[in-house]
Amino acid sequence: MPEPTPARDADAPARTRFEPPMSPAGEPFWEATREQRLVLPWCLDCGQPHWFPRDACPHCLSGAIEWRPASGRGVVYAVSIMPKPAMPMLADRVPYVVALVELDEGVRVMTNVVDIEPEHAVVDLEVAAAWEPLSDGRHLLVFAPRR
């Protein structure tokens, strides 16, 4: 049986893209996006940040994780231009850029690069966090070229 769709605030933007679900492990990240703040999970035992959110550190398996503010700066590590939409709701965005961005903190995040002609989104492009509103008040982390 499909999960019920959460009620939508009448003033919230209409859904124009896939909206990621919020898991218990990722809740601190998603709550920070409501204020357009980027936070990352850090292991208190080995001192390493990691991405994606999970209950145990992938470096040392400790469960002692703390969420800390991140710089929001990084560089494109890998990039692909999508000439066709991965989902029907992305049809009006093609071509769009999917990239693996390496943050200054050392973790890599799969994301979109926006505010750029797709052919100019290249490896080593310096980018900064940007935010796209979601229908429930959260924001989706995307990146734009640093100016």
Q: Which of these three, 70, 92, 126, is where a domain ends? A: 70
Under DSSP, the state recorded for 5 is P
Do 88 and 145 lie in one domain? The reply is yes
33 in the same domain as 63 = yes
Cα(123)–Cα(64) distance, integer angstroms: 34
Same domain, 61 and 85: no
83 plus 142 within the same structural domain:
yes
Q: What would the pLDDT profile of 22-79 be if each residue is shown by its tens digit?
A: 999 999 999 999 999 999 999 999 999 999 999 999 999 999 999 999 999 999 999 9
CATH number of the domain residue 96 falls in: 2.40.50
Nearest to 112 by CA among 124, 126, 130, 125: 130
Instruction: Say if residue 78 is in the same domain as residue 53.
Output: no
**For the chain, what is the mean pLDDT?**
91
Per-residue model confidence (pLDDT) at position 82 = 95
In terms of Cα–Cα distance, which of 44, 45, 46, 42 is closest to 70? 42
Considering the domain architecture, whether residues 41 and 78 belong to the same structural domain is answered as no
